[in-house]
Amino acid sequence: MSTTPSEPRHVPVMLDRCLDMLAPAVEAPGAVVVDATLGLGGHSEALLRRFPEVRLIAVDRDPAALKLAGERLAPYGDRATLVHAVYDEIPEVLERLGVPKVQGVLFDLGVSSMQLDEADRGFAYAQDAPLDMRMNQTAGISAAEVLNTYPPGELVRVLREYGEEKFARKIVEAVVREREREPFTNSARLVELIREALPQAAKRTGGNPAKRTFQALRIEVNGELTVLERAIPAAVAALAVGGRIAVLSYHSLEDRLVKGVLAAGAATTAPPGLPVVPEQYQPRLRLLTRGAELPTEDEIAANRRAAPARLRGAQRIREALK
């Protein structure tokens, strides 16, 4: 069934909380807000609707998402500028558009609802599909290529580091054995292999036993953590004084990275023991959340994809001195 702008396939996670967090910075006339992860445009549409004078710059690496979101946001005309880019390219995007500083940035990380729902993208372990997992299907290597070509040691690293998979070695031993017999092409075969490779006790807890491996492959294929390491500091640097950033993460690796960048910006860099902290050592950010905020039980009941979400935010309180 086709999806039109009036039939969105997803419910934006923690939408009202994200808008409330950004509101003090973006409700003034002329404010510019960046949606770093456009997806199907749910957060973007809500921003444009709630803040009638805001200008939106939205980026996504997925051409299919840009097309659908473009249809959805068409009624807002030139208030919305959509750009095909990865979110660590935001500084270049803003420079091209002649925008020196912005008042708000929103990240909704991870895989989008559209990518999960499109069977042929290969993101979901619950249905058989080609093992692709590329957010931009015009570039990069697929999950099948990772499984079929990476040396065993490198595959173990990917599963341990990005999937936090305790049984990475067992799974990789089975993958290497199977790929020599026949290369991997589809997800169902991988899911079955993981089920057979894991001990019985591991299969009784924590949901689908393939979840961590699929997460690891997706992160590796799209370079998600490497991109995020560059993107969050770049987004903070793009904020005007008074500007705000809100970041939704969906697993501990993302959240840990976001927490580190925002906490570092909110800390003094002065050597210990100084009676007065000079301006160049003063914090650049003020944290807007105590720890990570979680979705409510009601939201999780209405939208199961909100369950793992963690929201962090910060406000720019001073420029970095050059």
Is the per-residue pLDDT at 121 higher than 60?
no
Q: What is the per-residue pLDDT for 2? A: 34
Q: What is the per-residue pLDDT for 322? A: 57
Mean pLDDT for the stretch of residues 184-201 = 88
Q: Which of 18-27, 44-53, 182-191 has the lowest mean pLDDT?
A: 182-191
310-316: strand order across its sheet: 80-84, 55-60, 32-35, 102-108, 239-249, 310-316, 285-287
Angle formed at CA 313 by CA 311 and CA 316, multiple of 5 degrees: 170
Is the per-residue pLDDT at 59 higher than 70?
yes
Is the per-residue pLDDT at 221 higher than 80?
yes
Is the per-residue pLDDT at 117 higher than 60?
no
Q: CB 67: neighbour CB atoms within 10 A?
A: 12
Q: Is 10 annotated as a binding residue?
A: no
Q: CB 79: neighbour CB atoms within 10 A?
A: 15
Lookup result for tokens 């173990």: 156
Q: Is 127 annotated as a binding residue?
A: no
CA distance 103 to 83: 18
Q: What is the per-residue pLDDT for 10? A: 63
Q: What is the per-residue pLDDT for 205? A: 62
Q: Is 103 annotated as a binding residue?
A: no
Residue partners of 140: CB distance under 8 A and separation at least 6: 134, 221, 222, 223
As a whole number of Å, the end-to-end CA separation of the chain is: 54
Mean pLDDT for the stretch of residues 3-26 = 77
Question: What is the chain's length?
Answer: 322
Q: What is the per-residue pLDDT for 53? A: 95
When comparing pLDDT for 271 and 26, which is higher? 26
Domain 15-114+224-316: give its CATH superfamily: Vaccinia Virus protein VP39 (3.40.50.150)
User: Mean pLDDT, the chain, as a whole number?
Assistant: 88
Mean pLDDT for the stretch of residues 138-162 = 93
CA distance 275 to 81: 48
State residue 228 phi and psi, 5-degree precision: -65, -35
Two domains, one topology: 15-114+224-316 and 121-222: no
CATH of domain 121-222: 1.10.150.170
Domain boundaries, the chain: 15-114+224-316, 121-222
Q: What is the DSSP letter of 186?
A: B
Q: What is the per-residue pLDDT for 149? A: 96
As given in the structure block, the two tokens for residue 156 are 């173990």
Contact 46, 12 (CB under 8 A): yes
Q: What is the per-residue pLDDT for 273? A: 76
Q: What is the per-residue pLDDT for 115? A: 47
Identify the CA nearest to 67 among candidates 82, 56, 47, 51.
82
As given in the structure block, the two tokens for residue 307 are 């369950």
Q: What is the per-residue pLDDT for 125? A: 60
Q: How many CA atoms, within 13 angstroms, populate the side-chain half-sphere of residue 49?
A: 13
Identify the CA nearest to 62 among candidates 3, 112, 127.
112
Mean pLDDT for the stretch of residues 297-314 = 92
Is the per-residue pLDDT at 6 higher than 80?
no
Q: What is the per-residue pLDDT for 280? A: 80
Mean pLDDT for the stretch of residues 223-227 = 90
Mean pLDDT for the stretch of residues 279-288 = 90
Is the per-residue pLDDT at 112 higher than 70?
no
State residue 13 phi and psi, 5-degree precision: -80, 135
Q: Is 115 annotated as a binding residue?
A: yes
CA distance 223 to 265: 24
Tell me the residue type at 157: R
Q: Is 41 annotated as a binding residue?
A: yes
